[in-house]
Structure 1
Amino acid sequence: MNKWLVTASIALAVAAGGAQAAGDAAAGQTKSATCAACHGPDGNSLNPQWPKLAGQHAKYIERQIADFKSGARKDPVMTAQAALIQEQDIPNLAAYFSSQKRNAGTAAADKVALGEKIYRAGNAATGVSACMACHGPSGSGNPQANFPSLAGQHAPYVEKALKDFRSGGRTNDTGKMMQGVANRMTDEEIAAVAQYVQGLSR
Structure 2
Amino acid sequence: MKTPSIIRGLLQALVALSPLLSQAQTPAAELARAEEIVQGKCFICHGADGESSSPVFPRLAGQHGAYMARQLADYQSGKRRSTTMQPMVEGLTATDFAALGKYFESRKPVAHQVEDADLAQVGRFVFMRGNPFSGVAACASCHGEKAYGTPQLPRLAGQHAQYTENQLKLFNKRERTNDNAVMHAIASKLSELELKAVAAYLSGLN
Within 5 A, what are the aligned runs for 1:11-30?
24-30=30-36
The answer to whether the 8 A contact 1:26-1:96 is kept is: no
Q: Distance in 1 between matches of 2:112 and 2:178?
A: 26
Q: Distance in 1 between matches of 2:200 and 2:157?
A: 10
Q: Are 1:196 and 2:201 matched, yes or no?
A: yes
Q: Distance in 1 between matches of 2:131 and 2:125?
A: 8
1:173 deviates by: 1.5
Task: Note the alpha carbon deviations across 1:122-165, whole angstroms, 9 max, x for none.
Answer: 0111111101111111111122xx11111111000000000000
Q: Equivalent of 1:112, from 104, 117, 120?
A: 120
Within 5 A, what are the aligned runs for 1:73-92?
73-92=80-99
Aligned partner of 1:64: which letter?
A: Q
Task: Note the alpha carbon deviations across 1:44-68, whole angstroms, 9 max, x for none.
Answer: 1021110011110000100110111
1:111 deviates by: 0.7
Q: Distance in 2 between matches of 1:47 and 1:193?
A: 19
Aligned partner of 2:57: which letter?
A: W
* Structure 2 equivalent of residue 14 of structure 1: none
TM-score, length of structure 1 as denominator length: 0.83
Aligned length: 177
Q: Equivalent of 2:173, from 167, 176, 185?
A: 167
Q: Equivalent of 2:59, from 52, 56, 70?
A: 52
> Root-mean-square deviation (CA), in Å?
1.5
Give the number of the structure with larger relative contact order, counting CA–CA contacts within 8 Å between residues 6 or more apart.
1
Bigger-Rg structure (1/2): 2
CA 1:26–1:99 in structure 2 vs 1: closer, same or farther (change >3 Å)? Answer: farther
Task: Note the alpha carbon deviations across 1:57-105, whole angstroms, 9 max, x for none.
Answer: 0001001101111111111101221224233311111111111011112
The answer to whether the 8 A contact 2:112-2:158 is kept is: yes
Q: Equivalent of 1:150, from 150, 153, 156?
A: 156
Q: Equivalent of 1:66, from 63, 73, 90?
A: 73
* Structure 2 equivalent of residue 9 of structure 1: none
Q: Distance in 1 between matches of 2:120 and 2:107?
A: 27
1:178 deviates by: 1.0
The answer to whether the 8 A contact 2:69-2:94 is kept is: no
CA 1:84–1:186 in structure 2 vs 1: closer, same or farther (change >3 Å)? Answer: farther
Q: Distance in 1 between matches of 2:136 and 2:87?
A: 34
1:191 deviates by: 0.5
Q: Distance in 2 between matches of 1:177 and 1:83?
A: 29
The answer to whether the 8 A contact 2:156-2:202 is kept is: yes
